[in-house]
Structure formats: C-alpha cells, structure tokens
Amino acid sequence: MSAALPPAAAAPQGNGLTELLGGLLPDGLPFWALALTGAVVSFAIIFAFIAVLAMFATWLERKVAGHIQVRYGPMRTGAWHGWAQALADGVKLLIKEDLVLTSADKPLFKLAPMVVLSTALAAFVALPFGPNAIVADLDLGIYFIIAISSITTFGVIMAGWGSNNKWSLYGAMREAAQVASYEIPLGLSLMMPVMYFGSLSLNHAGAMQSGWYGMHWYVFSDAFWIAIPSFALFFTAALAETKRAPFDLPESESELVAGFHTEYSGIRFAFFFMEEYAAMYLMSAVGTALWFGAWNFPGLSLLEGTVLHAPLAVAAFVTKSLLLVFVMMWVRWTVPRIRIDQVMALGYKYLTPLCLLMILLAASWEWVKAIAFGA
C-alpha cells in the first residue's frame, strides 16, 4: 500500500522467544509443552518488567513532580535522590494490613485488582520490544491491545461497586463513561499510522520504520503533517484511556477523595498502582511503535547480525516509551482537571471529528501519492 516501504524491511516472522526456547529445550517435546513453557517464561518476563517499570515510574513521577514544583521529591530512602523510595513503598504495601470492608461485595472487591492488573499484563504480549522480541506477533496487534486494555474498565467498575462507597461508585461510573467514549477517538487516531503502514501488526510497523538509517519514523515521513496532529489526538485519547491527568476523573482526589480505590489498601492498592503505570507504558509504547520509529534509531542497522543488536533495539524502544511516559507526567503536573461533561464534550465534539478529518486527509494523501508517484 505504501510507496515509502523500503524493500528490505519485510516484517520479521515468528517470535524470538519461542525460537530460542525451541532451540534450548530437548527435542521430542510435544508442541503444547513448548507453548506452555513459552507462556510461563513470557509471563515471568512481562511481570518482572512491569514490576520494575512501576517502581521506576513511581520514583520518576515523584521526582518529576518534585522538581517541577521547585522541590526535591523523595530524598531520604536510599543514598542517591531517594532511589529506593519505590522499593520501600512496595515493601510497605506488601506488609500492610489488607482491609476488606465488611459491607463490601467481597468477591468483586477482591477480584477487581486482579482483573485490572491481568488485563494490563495481557496487553503486553502484543508489544514489540525489538525486531523479534515480541511474545505473540499478532496480525491484529493494535486491535488486540486496544481491545484487551479496555477490559481494565470492568475491573475499575468492579472495584467501585464492590467497595460500597459512594465516592468509589462515582469514580467507577466516571471511568465507565470516560473510557467507553475515548475508545472511539483512540481507535480512530490509530488509523492514520495503520493506513500509512498498511498493517495492524506493531512488529510490522516497527520494521517499516527502519529505513533512512533508522530515521524513517512516521513523524518524519512524507506524511509528517498528518502524523504530528494525529499523534496529539492519540496522546490526548491515551491520557484519557489511562486515567491520567487531566483526565484522572475516576480518582480525582480533590473531588472523589481517591475515587474507585478509596477503600483499597496494601497489595490490592499496589495492583491498581501498577496497572496505572503499566497502562501508561503500554500507551506510550504503542505511540512509540507507530509514530516514533519503534526500536529504530540512527546507526542501529549497522549492528545488524551482532549480539548487540537486539539489546540495543530493546533499550531504544524502552527509552523512547519512557520519554513519552515522562511527557504524560509532565502534562499531569501542568494542567488542571477537566469536568466529566467536558471530558465527554472533548471526546465527542473535538477528538472524534478531528480524528475523522485526519483519516480523510491521510486517505487522500495515500491516494494522491498513488496517483502522483504511481506506487
């Protein structure tokens, strides 16, 4: 579909991890054993990644917030700039009393954090960290991520309802309204890169941005004038989807005390916390994969075939995603919070029509290119 696709950048096939396992495990193992081992190992990797990420991100968030607000943030735990603060908090949350209200709807209350975290984990399987570093290279990767990450909403609603607290219920209902509305602009805003790359696979999109010595990112491509506004639209919708300020209405601490997780404590609260950072990272990673060249950076192609290639590619991808996570934090500590009806108005009156307009423009651009360059 795209004329700009360099011929070398055919989408890599298969999953690096399964290939690796297939090589390591003894021959003659049944297929399901391989698949099961792959699944367990992938889960362990993703869970460890999210746990470390959440810890790092909490620390980062507090430092970013602190320095933006002309203060230091945590400084006392650990030697250097309170680096162990998140670790200490994690331990504290683990050993804290796990309170379940007597009036709570116990099954829902207990299930909610699990649903929330497991959906966030599930979405990570379709995320390409490197050329082959993907758990499941789905043809419909983007579709899968959008679909699975919206199940989080169920968890939040369960938490809000199960807590038997009016503030929590408000948070849950806001989440339901907000996320359901923002699925539309989020999905639509992803259509622009999808049209450009002609694929719903993130791995494919990443491979297609490796041209120009690793700088053929969507935002630098011929369609940059579509890419930049469409990224702004995507980013706004992603903020709403991940309940980040200015769209943090489900928790909005100055109105709803702490929203849907008011009644949670200890490790259950930590699950919600990890989910928030996992979701932030997930959305940033999707943005990176589609707009900012996934794992590509200048010079990476020179290392092709060496041992360094895969780790550097993964590092580049994670760094770029974390930069976007930083931008999310930066936005959070700058702007006030929107009201629920304005969230709806923004979603339906601004983001959705603008996304449709961008889709029209992107489609016309592909058409113009096809006519002009005969691709």
Partner 1 sequence: MATLQEPAAPASDRSYWGNVWHAVKSTAVGMGITFRYLWTKPFTTQYPDERLPVDGRYRGIHYLEQDLCIYCQACAKACPVDCIDMGAQRHGKELEWEFFSIDYQKCMFCELCVYPCPKDCIHMGEQYSLVTEDKSDFLLELTSWQGLTEEQKLRIAEAEAAKAAKKAAAAKAKAAKEAAEAAAEPAEPEEGKE
Partner 2 sequence: MANSTKDPALRAGERLVELDVRTQDVEINMGPQHPATHGVLRVLLRADGEILTGAQSHLGYLHRCAEKIGEKVDWLQYLPYTDRYDYLSAMNNNLAYSLAVEKLLGVEAPERAQFIRVILAELNRIASHLVAVGTYGMDIGAFTPFFYALRERELLLDIFEKICGARLTYSYIRPGGLMNDAPAGWLEQVKAFTELFDKKWGEYWDLLVDSKIFVERTANVGVVSEELALAWGCSGPMLRGSGVDWDLRRDAPHLVYDRLDFEVIVGRGYRGTVGDCFDRNYVRMYEMVQSNRMIRQCLEQIEDGEVQHPDVGLLLRPAPGEAYVGIENPRGELGHYLVSDGSKIARRLRVRGPSFCNLAVAEHLLPGCMLADAAAIIGSVDIVIGETDR
Task: Tell me which residues touch partner 1 (CB under 8 A).
Answer: 64, 66-72, 75, 232, 330-331, 333-335, 350
Q: What is the Cα–Cα distance from 223 to 197, expressed in whole angstroms?
A: 11
Upper half-sphere CA count for residue 191 (Cβ side, 13 Å):
19
Residue closer to partner 2 by CB (options 66, 229) is 66
Q: Does 17 bind partner 2 (CB under 8 A)?
A: no
User: Which one of residues 175, 241, 248, 276 is an interface residue with partner 2 (CB under 8 A)?
Assistant: 248
Residue closer to partner 2 by CB (options 64, 205) is 64
Q: Does 304 bind partner 2 (CB under 8 A)?
A: no
Which range of residues in 165-173, 218-226, 304-312, 365-373 is near partner 2 by CB under 8 A?
165-173
Q: Does 342 bind partner 2 (CB under 8 A)?
A: yes
Q: Least distance from C-beta 79 to partner 1, angstroms?
A: 14
Q: Does 315 bind partner 2 (CB under 8 A)?
A: no
User: What burial class does residue 324 get, using C-beta atoms within 10 Å of its C-beta: 0-12 exposed, 13-18 middle, 19+ buried?
Assistant: buried
Residue closer to partner 1 by CB (options 71, 307) is 71
Residue 72: name its binding partner from partner 2, partner 1, none (Cβ under 5 to 8 Å by kind). Answer: partner 1
Q: Least distance from C-beta 240 to partner 1, angstroms?
A: 14
Q: Which amino acid is located at 84 in the chain? A: A
Q: Does 70 bind partner 2 (CB under 8 A)?
A: yes
Upper half-sphere CA count for residue 249 (Cβ side, 13 Å):
20
Q: Least distance from C-beta 70 to partner 2, angstroms?
A: 6
Q: Least distance from C-beta 101 to partner 2, angstroms?
A: 16
Subset of 71-110 contacting partner 2 (CB under 8 A): 71
Q: Least distance from C-beta 71 to partner 2, angstroms?
A: 7
Residue 281: name its binding partner from partner 2, partner 1, none (Cβ under 5 to 8 Å by kind). Answer: none
